[in-house]
Amino acid sequence: MGCALVGCGKAIPALEVENTALEALVDTNDEWITTRTGIKSRRIAVEESSADLGEAAARQALGWTEGGHSERSFAPEEIDLIICATVTPDSIVPSTAGLLRRRLGLKSAIAFDVNAACTGFIYSATVAEAMMAASAPSADGSAGRNPIRRALVVGTERLTRLTNWADRNTCVLFGDGAGAAVLEWDESRPGILGSFIVNADDDENALTCPLSYGTDLPFDAQGVSSQSPALKDASAIRIDEELAIREAVESGNPRQTLRMNGPHVFKFAAEAMTEAVHRSLDRAGLSLDDIACIVPHQANERIIKYAAKKLHLPMDFFQLSIAEAGNTSAASVPMALADAYAEGRIRRGDKVILVAFGGGFTSGAIVYEA
């Protein structure tokens, strides 16, 4: 018995931006971006929110709309859990999973978000599987509390809202989108065969995005009140905040944008991907010979090439979706997975590896039987 992947889908924003359009923003060119990253274009969510994208991907995964891969159409009351992986929620409260619960009418579901950067989907699916296993009926047939048989796991991002569009080292890399999967506890299928998630310290702050809260404290560390917040009206707070952000941008140190030491992340990523593949296979009691295809996080085609070399695998073993998507963080793996199904790469009974790495640092992999 196991946790089977029974549906997946993806959604992309309407606006497509090609590499050449970035030449007007920073000192870069299509040739550099293509050869160093494999990216040709990306989608940018101008109008769509993270919940909009997540909702559209979820509807496909649930079998409610065309375009995804779903074994059947799931009724709203069948979904017991929603986990949404994102670093770009529309709001801190409610969670994006909570927004999806309301929009999709999944009234029976527990809903919460997970932030594990680009590994978010792998972490979320691992948590969902663990919650299902913990609540599965015991040998005497009695179910645990909150029995969870089906989970909707979504990765949705608008990374372009955290992008410093003046920094050529990062602005060429990111894109927006969402992917979703439905997991079902099934006594007759093996489903997830092994998973491995791990954290490492990002000691050199190679990948960070500071948080800018909406207001300043009216107290100093000694508890002395500098200015009553009551005297500071809402518009004044907003103006201060805008000023602070403008000053930060002008000083070349914008708040709340992703900062990255690319080569440092590259080094971590290449090692983390290969380790996660091996460790998840060990846990599943399998070898690479048993695997039909690998769906990796789409951060940089060169990282995937490096992993292919280390694993002694040909590149066509890997799903490649980066050319028209860029790095969509937690959405990347489920979007690429939806592509793999759409391209007919994954058939029932195939054993597949999902693998990712991301800020934090996080990394992990899941091996499942389709």
Distance in Å, CB of 21 to ligand ACO, minimum = 13
Q: Extract the tokens encoding 107.
A: 């009234």
Among residues 89, 155, 358, 364, the one that binds ligand ACO under rule CB under 6 A: 358
Segment near ligand ACO (CB under 6 A); pick from 137-145, 168-176, 220-228, 335-343: 168-176
Should residue 118 be labelled a site residue for ligand ACO when binding is judged by CB under 6 A?
yes
Should residue 300 be labelled a site residue for ligand ACO when binding is judged by CB under 6 A?
yes
Tell me which residue has its CB nearest to ligand ACO. Answer: 262
Should residue 359 be labelled a site residue for ligand ACO when binding is judged by CB under 6 A?
yes
Q: How far is CA 249 from CA 31, 211, 244, in A?
A: 28, 15, 9
Should residue 36 be labelled a site residue for ligand ACO when binding is judged by CB under 6 A?
yes
Distance in Å, CB of 172 to ligand ACO, minimum = 4
Q: How far is CA 241 from CA 91, 159, 229, 235, 341, in A?
A: 18, 21, 14, 10, 45
Cβ atoms of 359 and 115 within 8 Å: the answer is no
CA distance 344 to 291: 15
CA distance 277 to 345: 19
Distance in Å, CB of 332 to ligand ACO, minimum = 9
Should residue 269 be labelled a site residue for ligand ACO when binding is judged by CB under 6 A?
yes
Count of residues engaged in binding ligand ACO, rule: CB under 6 A = 23
Q: How far is CA 41 from CA 33, 51, 63, 296, in A?
A: 10, 23, 29, 19
List the interface residues with ligand ACO, window 301-330 (CB under 6 A). 327, 329
Cβ atoms of 295 and 355 within 8 Å: the answer is yes
Cβ atoms of 218 and 228 within 8 Å: the answer is yes
Distance in Å, CB of 101 to ligand ACO, minimum = 25
Q: Which is nearer to ligand ACO, 95 or 163 (CB)?
A: 163
Distance in Å, CB of 47 to ligand ACO, minimum = 23
Q: Which residues contact 307 (CB under 8 A, 6 or more apart)?
A: 270, 273, 274, 277, 296, 318
Give the 3-state secondary structure of residue 83.
strand
Among residues 183, 299, 335, 366, the one that binds ligand ACO under rule CB under 6 A: 299
Q: Which residues contact 246 (CB under 8 A, 6 or more apart)?
A: none
Q: Which residues contact 109 (CB under 8 A, 6 or more apart)?
A: 79, 80, 81, 82, 101, 152
Among residues 112, 165, 266, 317, the one that binds ligand ACO under rule CB under 6 A: 266
Among residues 49, 169, 278, 286, the one that binds ligand ACO under rule CB under 6 A: 169
Distance in Å, CB of 191 to ligand ACO, minimum = 27
Should residue 207 be labelled a site residue for ligand ACO when binding is judged by CB under 6 A?
yes
Relative to beta strand 207-208, strand 69-70 is unpaired
Which position among 84, 118, 171, 209 bears the catalytic label? 118
Q: Which H or E run includes 338?
A: helix 332-342
Active site residue 297: yes
Which position among 3, 69, 164, 297 bears the catalytic label? 297
Active site residues: 118, 297, 327
Interface with ligand ACO by CB under 6 A: which residues? 28, 32-33, 36-37, 117-118, 168-169, 172, 207, 260, 262-263, 265-266, 269, 299-300, 327, 329, 358-359
